[in-house]
Every structure is written in structure tokens, then in C-alpha cells.
């Protein structure tokens, strides 16, 4: 009988731990959400923008960099303005409207803005 009791204790401990683990999973994901969009923005930037804008620079026209001062000087005052140029393109910069999803455009615009505010460090 003692063995049976022991097993019941072991099993209920397992059930308790399992229940706890799965209950805490959705919560972890919720907390991770803002970071997930930053990660997406960083990935989109590396794959689509870094060729011309590595480290927030502009290899074609250095005055049109993605540094905060340059952005403000050139009339980009919010992530929405960055989103706009990504959608429409400008001179040599291509339009990404057909290349990226809306979610990716939003994420990369927010990423550029955050990086500019942190001086691309
Ligand atoms: C082929 C090179 C190229 C690629 C790729 C490119 N850009 Fe550009 N980008 C430019 C050029 C050139 C300009 C300057 C356009 C102008 O005003 O004449 C520019 C301007 C900008 C500006 C405005 C900067 C300022 O200070 O005026 C932003 C913001 C920007 N790009 C973001 C992006 C993002 C985000 C991506 C990726 C989704 C991207 N660019 C991809 C070449 C590129």
C-alpha cells in the first residue's frame, strides 16, 4: 500500500508540474510579443535595406542616412513617414509595396525609428 501511495504522490506532482508549465506558456508568448515585432523588423532590415543602409548609413547619398538628425532634416518625423517611403520608394530606393507584407513594412519602419532614436548602437 505504501508503494501505491508513493506513486500517487509522484504522479500528482507530475500532473501539477505539467499543468503549470502549459498554463504559463501563453503568458510567456504575450510578454514576448513586442520583441517579436522588433525581431521581425531587424530581419526585414537585414534582408532588404542593409545593402544600402548598413548601420543606418546611406551608401548612395550620405546626406539621406537613417540617423535621427538626417531623418528630421529630410522631413521624416515619425515611424509613419518611414513607412511611407518604404511603400513608395524614392529615386534609387525601390518601392517595397509588392515585396513586403504590411506587417513587415510596419515592423521595419518601427525598427528604423527605434534604431535612429538609439543612434544605431
Ligand atoms: C538600392 C538601395 C536602397 C535600398 C535597398 C533601400 N534604400 Fe532607403 N534610401 C535609398 C536612397 C538612395 C535614399 C535617398 C532617397 C532620396 O531622397 O533621394 C533612401 C532613403 C531612405 C530613407 C529616408 C532617409 C533620409 O534621411 O532622407 C529611409 C527612411 C529609408 N531609405 C529606409 C529604407 C528602408 C527601411 C529600406 C528597406 C525596406 C530601404 N530604405 C532600402 C536607397 C535604398
- Pocket around ligand 1: residues whose beta carbon is below 6 Å from it? 48-49, 51-53, 58, 60-61, 64-66, 70-71, 74, 76, 82, 85-86, 90-93, 96, 108, 112
Helix axes 102-117 and 79-88, enclosed angle (nearest 10):
130
How many whole angstroms from 93 Cα to the centroid of ligand 1? 5
Domains and CATH numbers, the chain: 33-117 (1.10.760.10)
pLDDT tens track for 79-98: 999 999 999 999 999 999 99
Cell of residue 6, nine digits: 508513493
Helix (H, G, I), strand (E, B) or coil at 93: strand
pLDDT band at 117 (very low <50, low <70, confident <90, very high): very high
> According to the model, what pLDDT value does residue 7 have?
65
For the whole model, what pTM was predicted?
0.79
Q: Are 59 and 52 in contact (CB under 8 A)?
A: yes
User: From the alpha carbon of 91, which atom of ligand 1 is closest?
Assistant: 18
Helix (H, G, I), strand (E, B) or coil at 1: coil
29-77: pLDDT as tens digits: 455 555 677 899 999 999 999 999 999 999 999 999 999 999 999 999 9
Residue 8 has pLDDT above 80, yes or no: no
pLDDT at residue 120 in the model: 97
Q: Give pLDDT, residue 5.
A: 73
pLDDT, residue 92, reads 97
Q: Of all atoms in ligand 1, which is nearest to the CA of residue 44?
A: 38
Residue nearest to atom 40 of ligand 1 (CA): 49
CB within 8 Å of 95: residues ≥ 6 apart: 87, 88, 89
The DSSP symbol for 102 reads: H
What are the residue ranges of helices labelled H in 49-90?
50-53, 68-73, 79-88
Which of 40, 44, 52, 99 maximizes ligand 1 atoms within 8 Å of its Cβ, making it the mutation to test the pocket? Answer: 52
Contact 79, 109 (CB under 8 A): yes
Amino acid at each position: 500500500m505504501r508503494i501505491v501511495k508513493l506513486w500517487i504522490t509522484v504522479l500528482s506532482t507530475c500532473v501539477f508540474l505539467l499543468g503549470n508549465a502549459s498554463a504559463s506558456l501563453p503568458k510567456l508568448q504575450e510578454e514576448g510579443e513586442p520583441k517579436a515585432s522588433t525581431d521581425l523588423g531587424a530581419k526585414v532590415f537585414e534582408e532588404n535595406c542593409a545593402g544600402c543602409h548598413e548601420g543606418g548609413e546611406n551608401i548612395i547619398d550620405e546626406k539621406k542616412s537613417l540617423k535621427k538628425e538626417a531623418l528630421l532634416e529630410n522631413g521624416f518625423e515619425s515611424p509613419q513617414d518611414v513607412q511611407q517611403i518604404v511603400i513608395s520608394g524614392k529615386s534609387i530606393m525601390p518601392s517595397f509595396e509588392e515585396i513586403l507584407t504590411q506587417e513587415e513594412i510596419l515592423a521595419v519602419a518601427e525598427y528604423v525609428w527605434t534604431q535612429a532614436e538609439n543612434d544605431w548602437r
